[in-house]
Structures are given as structure tokens and as C-alpha cells.
């Protein structure tokens, strides 16, 4: 009987090739998120210079400050993989770079999630009551978590012992 000797991923690639592939995939993902977070952050920075900003109460100013700081944190985390790569290029650290960049990207996504939620809270407090704004933001947070994280968590869980990849790992 013929036994399949392919690696669990189904690819025949060296660790360096795998790191190169993962790096390219990660960069594509970061490009998408960087654009969104940079537009959001730029918008947030302009808010302080609008005439109505002076009318904001203490709570709304606090929410604004938190939102800007979260946006800055998300921007930093999502740009970090580029600077990391640039600084360590040529030192044969691609697999380690991919691991670090992946972690920074995930941190950036979490910060982006909270930036969007905080920005929504600030905006919705202007157009709805505080309690309605809170419920709408909670619903938006739940939606983002369902879209961004739940499918990945489910797929990771399934691949640990229930899916076709699990059968390949046991060989």
C-alpha cells in the first residue's frame, strides 16, 4: 500500500521557502489593514480641529483621547512588521521575523477592533442616548469578533483533531 509522505500542509517546501511564503501572505494582509487603520487614524486626528470639538464634555473628550491612543497603537503594531523586516533583512532570520510579525499583526487587529469600537461609541453618543450607544457598540464588537476571530478559532480547533490535517499528522 502506498503511504503519503507529504508534510501536513500538503506542500513540499523547505523551512526557508515556507517562511518566504508566509511572509508574502502576511504582507498582503498587513497592506489591507494598514490602509484602513491609517484612514481611520487620520480622520480621528482631524476631529480635534473641528468647531464642535470645544463643545464636547469630559466623558466624550476622554473617549476621544482613548480612541486616538488606540488608533496610534494599532497603526504602530500594523506598521511594525515592515520596520522589523527592514532592520533584520539579510541576517537569515526570516522564520523568526514571520513569527514576530504575525504576533504584531494580531495585536494590531485587536487594537483596531477596540479603536473602531471606541470611535463608534464617540459618534453614537452624539446621535443616540448613552445606553443605546453602549448596546450598539457591544453589538458591533460582537459582530467584529464573530467575523474576525471566531472562524479562525473554529478552524484551528477543528484542525487539532477532527479534520483531514489531523489524520495526516498521525502518520
- How many CA within 13 A on the CB side of residue 32? 7
Domain total of the chain: 1
**Per-residue pLDDT at 101:** 96
Lookup result for grid cell 469578533: 145
How far apart are the C-alpha atoms of 54 and 89, rounded to whole Å? 47
pLDDT, tens digit, 9 for 90 and up, residues 97-126? 999 999 999 999 999 999 999 999 999 999
Q: What string of H, E and C letters represents the secondary structure of the chain?
A: CCCCCCCCCCCCCCHHHHHHHHHHHHHHHHHHHHHHHHHHHHHHHHHCCCHHHHHCCHHHHHHHHHHHHHHHHHHHHHHHHHHHHHHHCCCCCHHHHHHHHHHHHHHHHHHHHHHHHHHHHHHHHHHCCHHHHHHHHHHHHHHHHHHHCHHHHHHHHHHCCCCHHHHHHCC
Kindly state whether residue 170 falls inside one of the protein's structural domains.
no
In this structure, are residues 115 and 71 in contact, taking their beta carbons and an 8 Å threshold? yes
User: Is residue 3 pLDDT above 90, yes or no?
Assistant: no
Range of the domain at 41: 15-130
The confidence score (pLDDT) of residue 34 equals 86
The answer on pLDDT for 6 being more than 70 is no
For the residues 23-50, what does the mean pLDDT come to? 91
User: Is residue 144 in some structural domain?
Assistant: no
Q: With contact defined as beta carbons under 8 Å apart, do 132 and 152 qualify?
A: no
Residue 120 burial by CB count (10 A; 0-12/13-18/19+): exposed, middle or buried?
middle
Is 35 within the bounds of a domain?
yes
Flag the least confident range among 88-92, 112-116, 126-130, 165-169: 165-169
pLDDT for 11 beyond 60? yes
Asked if residue 153 belongs to a domain, the reply is: no
Q: Is residue 109 situated within a structural domain? A: yes
Amino acid at each position: 500500500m502506498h503511504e503519503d509522505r507529504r508534510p501536513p500542509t500538503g506542500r513540499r517546501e523547505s523551512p526557508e521557502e515556507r517562511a518566504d511564503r508566509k511572509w508574502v501572505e502576511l504582507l498582503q494582509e498587513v497592506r489591507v489593514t494598514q490602509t484602513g487603520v491609517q484612514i481611520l487614524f487620520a480622520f480621528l486626528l482631524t476631529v480635534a480641529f473641528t468647531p464642535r470639538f470645544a463643545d464636547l464634555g469630559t466623558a466624550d473628550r476622554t473617549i476621544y483621547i482613548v480612541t486616538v491612543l488606540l488608533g496610534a497603537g494599532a497603526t504602530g503594531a500594523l506598521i511594525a512588521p515592515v520596520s522589523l523586516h527592514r532592520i533584520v533583512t539579510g541576517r537569515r532570520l526570516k522564520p523568526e521575523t514571520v513569527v514576530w510579525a504575525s504576533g504584531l499583526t494580531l495585536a494590531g487587529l485587536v487594537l483596531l477592533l477596540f479603536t473602531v469600537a471606541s470611535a463608534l461609541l464617540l459618534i453614537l453618543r452624539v446621535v443616540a442616548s448613552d445606553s443605546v450607544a453602549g448596546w450598539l457598540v457591544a453589538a458591533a464588537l460582537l459582530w467584529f469578533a464573530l467575523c474576525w476571530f471566531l472562524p479562525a478559532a473554529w478552524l484551528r480547533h477543528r484542525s487539532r483533531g477532527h479534520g483531514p490535517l489531523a489524520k495526516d499528522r498521525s502518520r
